[in-house]
Structure 1
Amino acid sequence: VLDKTFKGNETVEPADVSNQNVQYLYSDEGSFYCMNDETYEQFEIPRDIVGDQAGYLKEGSTITLQLFEGKVINVVLPKNVFLKVTYAEDVVKGDTTSSVLKDAELETGIKVKVPAFIKVGDEISVDTETGAYRERKKD
């Protein structure tokens, strides 16, 4: 981060940042790996750049990398992703309140609040910015 004051007549050359759509392949302890489907160029992304977004990355999904001078500086996820529910709490029978939410864990390990009717095996859409449940995938 650079903190500098400029005079009104000074100009700053904009950074040459490019976007590339890539396929997420896999991760290990320190990095995430993606590949450009057109050029087959592979990218290693340090875990600290991905951060909390890691919970929304599913092998084979398409994401956007922002590059500056050939180095990945940011990862942009789609607005929503579909992930499979691997664990869902049981709901007390007779609790018919329409706003009942329960905890669920998804295939990537993240936890979200879902409506009572969601069960293990369902695929749900999750907002990648807020982590909120959006909808159940229609068959």
Structure 2
Amino acid sequence: MISASDLKAGMTFVQDGKLIRVLEASHHKPGKGNTVMRMKLRDVRSGSTYDTTFRPEEKFEQAIIETKSVQYLYSQDDVAVFMDLETYEQYELPLDTIEQEMKYLLENMEVKIQFFGDEVIGVTLPTTVVLRVTETQPSIKGATVTGSGKPATMETGLVVNVPDFVEAEELLEINTQEGTYVKRAGK
């Protein structure tokens, strides 16, 4: 059991039979009364997010999440297919539960999938990925990194704000946590 005051962003716990992931957690002390924990939570199975508060002493069952290295193979209809790199076993995840992660996934990319018991519950991306720019405005001669930037569409459909000197077909390193440009990765 884990108390509400010990829950941090990224942790997963079980509440009323639901698997809940903490997106944000903070202590809040109102003018009068006791301290409460403000939390933004996501139901892992349904994908719905909601805000709530808990008393710091409330207890929850911490979920034991295991990860496996897999390769993203392809998506078809409404599922994404991944393959275990050791056993070659294949796992399917509904696309609507990994909608954000799909913006960073290319075929044959290695990622980790998360398990709760035998149930596949999510994908863990690397901190950065390299994606090709498919569409952006022409580069501006003499542009510097400090400019306001311009939008660029990556090969996965992700739109990222990039410096003015970036051109189409360039490879860029993208931060998967924030969806931001990190640096050029070549052509």
Q: TM-score, normalised by structure 1?
A: 0.84
**Could you tell me which amino acid in structure 1 is paired with residue 88 of structure 2?**
Y
Matched with 2:95 is 47
CA–CA distance in 1 between the matches of 2:60 and 2:77? 42
Structure 1 position 119 matched with structure 2 position 167:
yes
Deviation of 1:42 (Å): 0.3
More moved, 72-81 vs 91-100: 91-100
CA–CA distance in 2 between the matches of 1:91 and 1:32? 35
Structure 1 gap ranges (5+): none
CA–CA distance in 1 between the matches of 2:80 and 2:74? 6
CA–CA distance in 2 between the matches of 1:42 and 1:108? 22
Deviation of 1:98 (Å): 3.2
CA–CA distance in 2 between the matches of 1:111 and 1:32? 21
State the SS of the aligned residue for 2:96.
Answer: helix
Matched with 2:15 is 2
Matched with 2:83 is 35
State the SS of the aligned residue for 2:130.
Answer: strand
CA–CA distance in 1 between the matches of 2:60 and 2:140? 63
Residues 91, 102 of structure 1: 8 Å contact kept: no
Spell out structure 1 runs of 4+ moving beyond 4 A: 91-97
State the SS of the aligned residue for 1:83.
Answer: strand
Aligned CA-pair RMSD: 2.6
Q: Return the match for 1:72 from 97, 120, 123.
A: 120
Matched with 1:100 is 148
CA–CA distance in 1 between the matches of 2:83 and 2:112? 11
Deviation of 1:118 (Å): 0.8
CA–CA distance in 2 between the matches of 1:96 and 1:81? 23
Alpha-carbon spacing, 1:100–1:109, altered in 2? closer, same or farther (3 Å) = same
Residues 80, 125 of structure 1: 8 Å contact kept: yes
Deviation of 1:100 (Å): 3.3
Deviation of 1:99 (Å): 1.7
Which gives a bigger RCO, structure 1 or 2 (Cα 8 Å, sep 6+)?
1
Would you say how many aligned residue pairs link Structure 1 and Structure 2?
A: 135
Structure 1 position 128 matched with structure 2 position 176:
yes
Deviation of 1:48 (Å): 2.4
Structure 2 gap ranges (5+): 1-13, 17-53
User: Percentage identity across aligned positions?
Assistant: 36
**Could you tell me which amino acid in structure 1 is paired with residue 181 of structure 2?**
Y
Q: TM-score, normalised by structure 2?
A: 0.64
More strand, by proportion: 2
CA–CA distance in 1 between the matches of 2:185 and 2:80? 27
